[in-house]
Amino acid sequence: MRRITVPFVLATVVLLGLAAAVGDRGSRAQDAKPAPGPHPVVGSWFVTLAVTGAMDQEAALDTFAADGTLLISVKPVSPAPPGAPFRQIFTGPMHGSWTAVLADQVAFTVVRLQADENGTYLGTVTVRATLDVGDDGRRLSGAFDYEVADPAGHIVATGTGTAEGTRIAVEPMATPAAGTPAA
C-alpha cells in the first residue's frame, strides 16, 4: 500500500482552498454585474431586398442568434442570367456572422453556395451589410453589397442594394370556427 505524505495532503488542501476562493470571487463579480441583454436585432425577420438596378424585389428570412451567428433564407431557385449555359440557379441558406456596431446597429457577412439544375457547383455569393434596428425594435433597414464568385473564387459580379425588414412576432392561434368539434 502506498503512503500519502503530510506535505502532499497539505498541498492538496491548499490548492483546493485556492481554487474554491478564486471560483467564489468570480461568481460574486459575475453576480454584481449582470450580463447585458441581447442586442435588439436578435430574433427572426421578414426582409425585402431591393438590388440596385433590378426591377423586382426579393424576400428573405433572416435569423440573428444571440451568439453572433446568422442564417438567411431566400428563394431556392432563380432563373439563370441571360447567356448562361444553364437555365436555373439553385441555392441553400446563407450562413454567416454578425456583430454589434452600435446599440441599434449591426454589421454582418453571409455566404451562400450556388449550383445549376444539374447540381454543378457554380460558386458563392457573399453579402455584407449594415442594418439599423428601429426604435420600436420591430423594424430594420440598411444597405448591403454582394460579390458573386466562380468555383475558383474569382469575382464575376458585384452589386449593391437596400434591405427593409419587420420582426417576425409570435401571433395567437386562430380560434376554431363555431361548431368545430374539439379534439
**Whole-number pLDDT of residue 175:** 78
**Whole-number pLDDT of residue 183:** 65
pLDDT tens for each residue of 72-87 = 999 999 999 899 999 9
Residues belonging to the chain: 183
Please, is 88 exposed, middle or buried when counting C-beta atoms within 10 Å of its C-beta (0-12, 13-18, 19+)?
middle
Q: Would you say residue 22 has pLDDT above 60? A: no
pTM: 0.75
In a 3-state reduction of DSSP, which class is residue 119?
coil
Instruction: Identify whether the C-beta of residue 110 lies closer than 8 Å to the C-beta of residue 72.
Output: yes
> What's the grid cell of residue 159?
452589386
Q: How many CA atoms lie within 13 A of 90 on its CB side?
A: 8
In a 3-state reduction of DSSP, which class is residue 28?
helix
- How far is Cα 130 from Cα 58, in angstroms, rounded to an integer? 18
Q: Would you say residue 146 has pLDDT above 50? A: yes
Mean pLDDT of the chain: 83
Instruction: Say which residue, 181 or 144, is predicted with more confidence.
Output: 144
> What's the grid cell of residue 88?
436555373
Instruction: Identify whether the C-beta of residue 149 lies closer than 8 Å to the C-beta of residue 116.
Output: no
Instruction: Say which residue, 181 or 20, is predicted with more confidence.
Output: 181
Lookup result for grid cell 395567437: 172
- How far is Cα 68 from Cα 95, in angstroms, rounded to an integer? 11
